[in-house]
Amino acid sequence: MTEKTFVINGTRMKVVDVGGQRNERKKWIHSFEHVNAVIFVISLTCYDEVPFEEVTDLDVDVNEKNNMIESIEVFEHTLRYECFKNTCFILFFNKYDLFEEKIKHSPITRAFPEFEQDTTDVQQCVDYIRQQFLEKAQSNSSRALFTHITCATDKENVKKVFNDVQIGLVSDNLDKADLV
CA neighbours closer than 13 Å in the CB half-sphere of residue 72: 18
pLDDT higher than 60, residue 32? yes
Average pLDDT over residues 45-53: 81
Q: Which residues lie below 8 Å from residue 31, measured CB to CB, with a gap of 6+?
A: 1, 16
Domain boundaries, the chain: 2-176
Rounded to an integer, the average pLDDT of 150-175 is 73
CATH no. for 2-176: 3.40.50.300
Contact assessment for residue 146 and residue 165, using Cβ atoms and an 8 Å cutoff = yes
State residue 141's pLDDT score: 62
Q: Cα 180 to chain center, whole Å?
A: 28
What pLDDT does 180 receive? 61
Residue 167's pLDDT band, with cuts at 50, 70 and 90, is confident
Which of 101-105, 144-148, 151-155, 157-161 shows the lowest mean pLDDT across its residues?
157-161
Binding residues for GTP: 17-21, 94-97, 152
pLDDT at position 157 is 72
pLDDT tens digits, one per residue of 1-13? 677 787 767 777 7
pLDDT in tens, 110-120: 999 999 999 99
- Give the pLDDT of residue 109: 94
User: Of 172, 167, 125, 171, which Cα lies nearest the Cα of 149?
Assistant: 125
Assess whether pLDDT exceeds 70 at residue 27.
no
